C-alpha cells in the first residue's frame, strides 16, 4: 500500500510530521481528517530501489521482538509508569538494535506532545495500520495497557500459526530443492559421461535412452542459459505480481490451486476474522475496521471484496451482503456473520471463526505433510528407475550382442 509523508496541524495548532498508509491520496486526507489533523503538506513516497528493499529485508524487526515490546510496555503502563519513561526503559532493554532506535525516536515524539499512536504511525514497516489503530482505540478508551496485552496475544497467535506452517513445510521443501539440485548436477555433469559410452557401442538405443541423451546434452551445453532463464522468470513473475491486474490474477490463481488453495484461503480468513474482531472489540468503528483489515488480509481478491463491503455498510446494508454472493467466502462465514449481526454478537462470532479456521489450517498442513512425503518417495523412485533403465538396458543389450 502507498505511503504518504505529511505535515499537519493538530487541534492545539502544533505541527506534526508523520507517515500515512492509504490506497490513495484522498484516502490519506480522509484518514488525517479522522485524526483531527489539518495537513498542509502531503506527498507520496517514491518506490524503493532494489538496494533499499534489500536493506529493509536485512533490517526488519522480528515478530518475537515486537511481541516482547508490546508485553513489556503493557506491564509498565498498567503499573502507572509514565509512558515516556516506559519507552526510555524499553530502549535499554530491547535486544534488537533497529527496534531500539525506533523506540527511542517514538519516545522523543511522545515527549514532544505526540500521541503514541501518531508516533508509531511514522513506522508503517514495523507497526502495521492494524497495530496503530488498536493503540489509538486503547488511548481513546483509556485502556492502553489492555490493548497492548491484547496486541501481544494476537501477534503471538499469528506467529505461532505461521511458525507451525513453515515448520511443517520445511522438510518437504528441503527434499524438493535437494532433488532439483541433484537432478540438475546429474543431468549436466554425470549423465553425459555415461551416455557417451553408450553411443560408442554403436547399438540401437531405446527411445528412453535417446531422450535421456538429448536432454543431458542440452543441459551440458546450455546449463548457463537454463539458470539465466530461471532467474529471469522468477524476477519477471515477481515484478508482474507486485501490483495491478497481475497481482489480482496471481492471487486468484493461488486460491484455485489444488490443496494449497484451500490452505491459503483459510489463512486469509483467519487474518480477516481475527483482525476485524480485535478492532471491533477495541472500539474501532466497523467501516474503519474494514478499511484496516483490507490492508492486512494479504490477498487482492479479499481486499477487493472487503473494499466493496465498506461501501455497502456505509449505505446501511449488511456486512454479509456481498459475502453471500462471493465464491471466495465460504457460506459458513457468511451465514455466521448474518447471525452475529442479528444477535449483536459479531465480535464473538468473528473470534470463533478465527479459532475454527486456525485449527483447520494446522490440521490441513499436517495432513499435507503426511501426504507429501510418500509422494516425494514415489516420484524419486520413478525418476531413478527411468534413469537407471535408460542406461542399464542398453548395456545389457550390447553385452548380449557380443
Instruction: List the grid coordinates of 338.
Output: 448474518
CA neighbours within 13 Å on the CB side: how many for 266? 20
The set of cell numbers assigned to 182 is 541433484
Which pLDDT value is given to residue 53?
36
162: which residues sit within 8 A by CB, 6+ positions away?
A: none
Q: What is the pLDDT of residue 50?
A: 38
Inter-residue contact 284 to 292 (CB < 8 Å): yes
Mean pLDDT by runs of 10 across the 402 residues of the chain is 72 73 72 78 59 44 82 86 88 82 85 82 80 80 79 78 76 79 79 72 72 80 86 86 80 85 87 83 82 82 89 86 86 88 87 88 81 80 77 69 55
Per-residue burial over 276-301, b if 16 or more Cβ lie within 10 Å, else e, is: bbbbbbbebebebbbbbbbbbbebbb
Q: Provide the pLDDT for residue 346.
A: 86
Helices (H), 258-299: 260-281, 286-296
**E strands, 294-383, in order:** none
Which one-letter DSSP state was computed for residue 329?
S
3-state secondary structure at position 121: coil
CATH of domain 1-46: 3.10.20
pLDDT at position 59 is 53
Going by C-alpha positions, the residue among 45, 14, 20 that lies closest to residue 32 is 20
Q: H helices then E strands: how many in the chain?
A: 16, 3
Q: How much is the pLDDT for 168?
A: 72
Where are the chain's structural domains?
A: 1-46, 268-356
268-356, CATH topology level: Receptor-associated Protein (1.20.81)
Amino acid at each position: 500500500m502507498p505511503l504518504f509523508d505529511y505535515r499537519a496541524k493538530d487541534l492545539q495548532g502544533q505541527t506534526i510530521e508523520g507517515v500515512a498508509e492509504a490506497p490513495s491520496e484522498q484516502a490519506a486526507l480522509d484518514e488525517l481528517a479522522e485524526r483531527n489533523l489539518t495537513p498542509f503538506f502531503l506527498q507520496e513516497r517514491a518506490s524503493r530501489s532494489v538496494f533499499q528493499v534489500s536493506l529493509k529485508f536485512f533490517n526488519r524487526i522480528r515478530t518475537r521482538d515486537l511481541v516482547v515490546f508490546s508485553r513489556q510496555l503493557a506491564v509498565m503502563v498498567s503499573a502507572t509508569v509514565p509512558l515516556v519513561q516506559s519507552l526510555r526503559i524499553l530502549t535499554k532493554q530491547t535486544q534488537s538494535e533497529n527496534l531500539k532506535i525506533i523506540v527511542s525516536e517514538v519516545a522523543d515524539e511522545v515527549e514532544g506532545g505526540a500521541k503514541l499512536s501518531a508516533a508509531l504511525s511514522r513506522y508503517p514497516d514495523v507497526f502495521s495500520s492494524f497495530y496503530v489503530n488498536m493503540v489509538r482505540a486503547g488511548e481513546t478508551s483509556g485502556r492502553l495497557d489492555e490493548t497492548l496485552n491484547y496486541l501481544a496475544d494476537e501477534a503471538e497467535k499469528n506467529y505461532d500459526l505461521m511458525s507451525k506452517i513453515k515448520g511443517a513445510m520445511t522438510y518437504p521443501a528441503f527434499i524438493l530443492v535437494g532433488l532439483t539440485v541433484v537432478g540438475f548436477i546429474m543431468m549436466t555433469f554425470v549423465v553425459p559421461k555415461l551416455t557417451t559410452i553408450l553411443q560408442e557401442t554403436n547399438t540401437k538405443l531405446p527411445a528412453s535412452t535417446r531422450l535421456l541423451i538429448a536432454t543431458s546434452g542440452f543441459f551440458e551445453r546450455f546449463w548457463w542459459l537454463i539458470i539465466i532463464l530461471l532467474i529471469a522468470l522468477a524476477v519477471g513473475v515477481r515484478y508482474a505480481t507486485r501490483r495491478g491486474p497481475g497481482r489480482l490474477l496471481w492471487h486468484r490463481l493461488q486460491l484455485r490451486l489444488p490443496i494449497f488453495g484451500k490452505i491459503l484461503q483459510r489463512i486469509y480468513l483467519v487474518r480477516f476474522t481475527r483482525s476485524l474482531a480485535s478492532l471491533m472489540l477495541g472500539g474501532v468503528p466497523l467501516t474503519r475496521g474494514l478499511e484496516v483489515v483490507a490492508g492486512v488480509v494479504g490477498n487482492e481478491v479479499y481486499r477487493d471484496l472487503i473494499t466493496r463491503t465498506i461501501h455497502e455498510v456505509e449505505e446501511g446494508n449488511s456486512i454479509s451482503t456481498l459475502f453471500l454472493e462471493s465464491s471466495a467466502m465460504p457460506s459458513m462465514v457468511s451465514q455466521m456473520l448474518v447471525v452475529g449481526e442479528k444477535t449483536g454478537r459479531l465480535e464473538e462470532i468473528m473470534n470463533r471463526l478465527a479459532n475454527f479456521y486456525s485449527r483447520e489450517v494446522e490440521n490441513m498442513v499436517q495432513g499435507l505433510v503426511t501426504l507429501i512425503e510418500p509422494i516425494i518417495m514415489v516420484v524419486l523412485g520413478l525418476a531413478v528407475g527411468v534413469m537407471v533403465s535408460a542406461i542399464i538396458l542398453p548395456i545389457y543389450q550390447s553385452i548380449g550382442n557380443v
